[in-house]
């Protein structure tokens, strides 16, 4: 049975008056539960709920989840988990957004309705970074981060959530159609001709290599980012190294990738020819240039070639689609592209209907 007792304290005249009610629930097989309320009816309601949960075998210890805010949770996640993740630095802006919107709530109070309201508010917010509306992909990443942090709290840190993980029942924002930009007609010839005219001699071999291998930009060339906290540029990826290339076996090994898994990429005859024609850099890099060093050159080359809407990352789409057209299996495509899920791989694979038609009888 629950015990409800009045709690007294001095008023402004130092007279002892009732300032609240303490409810204590004791039941064999469960730790004693205590909580204080302003009103007696609230104490009684809480005690009845706890007793009912204990009797039905669904009681969850709330103390730690009531004392831990979303701010506390995300600070700990940032401190203990992000440093262990490849590309964990990308999560910092998402953590900041979540803390601004939900940080003050305790984990015990957090529910799906609050998270849904956060989702809707974010989708109607203008980003300080871009000056445009926050996109559904951004919000989806933020909700995914919150869900991972809550799972970590339950599974690793021993913080029980009375109502379960609330993000699990919140509908994720609908995403716009995936990009399906590919090189069409004579665009590849025009692009490579424009790249050959560029002052940056590395541009043309990098573009060809990107198309032939379907590798990410950071897997091909050295990539840097600006650390907003320190104001200094930091290296994100070192790019492809000669020590990881085997021209005899026609492979390029990538020990570190965006998703954290190493993989070995097979090289086509055209990719091998590109590598064989390159000078050897003393620093070990295959391509002696950074992504920042070729990005503007690539944009200008597209402009000279009268090609619009073709980003450097679209070359990865092109490469994966060409591999798929060579009738490689899904497992073979995943091994080359490095995608962990079929869903992500399919977003990058865009087969031309006219090419498929040639295979039909």
Residues annotated catalytic, as ranges: 216, 258, 313, 316, 339, 348
DSSP for 44-62, written as a single string: HHHHHHHHHHHHHT-----
Measure the CA–CA gap between 209 and 275, rounded to whole angstroms: 8
Phi-psi region of 242 (alpha: psi -120 to 50; beta: other; left: phi over 0): alpha
Locate all alpha helices (DSSP H) within 68-111, ordered by sequence. Answer: 70-80, 92-102
Measure the CA–CA gap between 202 and 175, rounded to whole angstroms: 35
Rounded (10°) CA dihedral 336, 143, 66, 59: -70
CA 234 to chain CA centroid, Å, is: 20
Question: What are the structure tokens assigned to 50, written together?
Answer: 């706890």
Phi-psi region of 125 (alpha: psi -120 to 50; beta: other; left: phi over 0): beta
Q: Please name the helix (run of DSSP H) or strand (run of DSSP E) that holds residue 142, with its range, or none.
A: helix 136-155
Measure the CA–CA gap between 358 and 220, rounded to whole angstroms: 33
Check if the beta carbon of residue 95 is closer than 8 Å to that of residue 72: no
Beta bridge partners of 16: 10
Angstrom distances, CA of residue 58 to CA of 23, 263, 269: 20, 46, 63
Measure the CA–CA gap between 8 and 19, rounded to whole angstroms: 5
């Amino acid at each position: 049975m629950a015990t409800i007792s009045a709690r007294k304290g001095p008023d402004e005249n130092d007279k002892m008056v009732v300032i609240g009610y303490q409810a204590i629930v004791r039941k064999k097989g469960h730790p004693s539960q205590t909580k204080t309320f302003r009103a007696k009816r609230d104490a009684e309601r809480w005690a009845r709920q706890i007793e009912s949960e204990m009797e039905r075998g669904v009681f969850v210890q709330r103390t730690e989840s009531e004392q831990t805010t979303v701010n506390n949770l995300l600070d700990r996640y940032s401190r203990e988990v992000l440093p262990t993740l490849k590309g964990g630095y990308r999560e910092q802006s998402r953590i900041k957004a979540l803390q601004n919107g939900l940080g003050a709530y305790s984990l015990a109070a957090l529910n799906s309705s609050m998270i849904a309201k956060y989702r809707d508010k974010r989708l109607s917010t203008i980003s300080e970074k871009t000056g445009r509306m926050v996109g559904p992909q951004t919000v989806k990443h933020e909700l995914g981060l919150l869900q991972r942090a809550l799972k970590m709290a339950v599974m690793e840190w021993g913080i029980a959530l009375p109502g379960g993980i609330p993000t699990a029942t919140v509908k994720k924002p609908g995403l716009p159609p995936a990009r399906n930009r590919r090189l069409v007609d004579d665009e590849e010839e025009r692009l490579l001709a424009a790249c050959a005219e560029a002052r940056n001699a590395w541009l043309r071999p990098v573009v060809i290599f990107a198309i032939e291998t379907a590798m990410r930009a950071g897997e091909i060339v050295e990539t840097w980012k600006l650390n907003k906290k320190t104001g200094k540029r930091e290296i994100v990826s070192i790019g492809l190294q000669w020590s990881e290339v085997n021209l005899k076996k026609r492979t390029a090994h990538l020990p570190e990738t965006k998703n954290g898994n190493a993989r070995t990429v097979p090289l086509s005859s055209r990719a091998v020819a590109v590598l064989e024609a390159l000078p050897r850099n003393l620093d070990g890099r295959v391509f002696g240039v950074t992504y920042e060093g070729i990005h503007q050159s690539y944009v200008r080359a597209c402009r000279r070639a009268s090609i619009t809407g073709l980003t450097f990352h679209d070359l990865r789409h092109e490469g994966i689609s060409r591999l798929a057209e060579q009738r490689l299996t899904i497992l073979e495509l995943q091994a080359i592209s490095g995608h962990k899920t079929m869903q992500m791989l399919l977003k990058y694979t865009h087969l031309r209907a006219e090419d498929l038609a040639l295979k039909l009888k």
